[in-house]
Structure 1
């Protein structure tokens, strides 16, 4: 896809951690699980799944949230913003928090997960909903559809 207007710049609240994205996201998701609700202090976490080689970080980060090998939550060491989750799919992808972008006004989740834990009356705008995470065999189809139909910046 050439309509993504890359690269993108992002930073944490205090600006000490800067991020750069050089490839289009594979999918945008909202996770309604209780863990994400607690980590964000909101109704869900918003994620853009980015190929790991296309995600650059400058500045000091630390592990926060749940300390799991398969999903390592990285936070700014100073302001404690939740920036991204590393280790996704064996380290192939990073789940980036798009609210760190200079302009995140265009981001709309395409998929929402853990709707069984969704807070009452919360609407994410996602086109596809799953009781938990989508089954692994469903991701190729969802990624292909997002490449065609997903929201774009500007």
Structure 2
């Protein structure tokens, strides 16, 4: 896209639109992003915000998230952003109880997969239907005992 600038004396000078982007000083920051679900009721001019932290403190951007768990239930969560670093994947997982739980489950699944691929004795147990059933029974009993111990400790 080309723009035209008419300088002194009426001489036409063709200006490439891409050049204007390159002319933005390097010490300027332009932040254009929708940071909340709700649009403002009316535009407002805000003065005196010197840093990005000031902008986040003033506007307190939040977003409501809806997740679906393994059983198909909706899990609602409100995420608040306090700085630009909060938009990274790790920080989002850290600030979200639901996503951090999923991450823990993923890590556990990876550990189990590694065990299955490297533990020959466990693989033999799982290949034999009788031994696999016995292992499942032991695990089920252990889970029940753990749950009972947890419920007794809450009392």
Alignment TM class, shorter chain as reference: under 0.3
TM-score (norm 2): 0.19
Task: Choose between structure 1 and 2: higher strand proportion.
Answer: 1
Give the TM-score taking structure 1 as reference length. Answer: 0.19
Bigger-Rg structure (1/2): 2
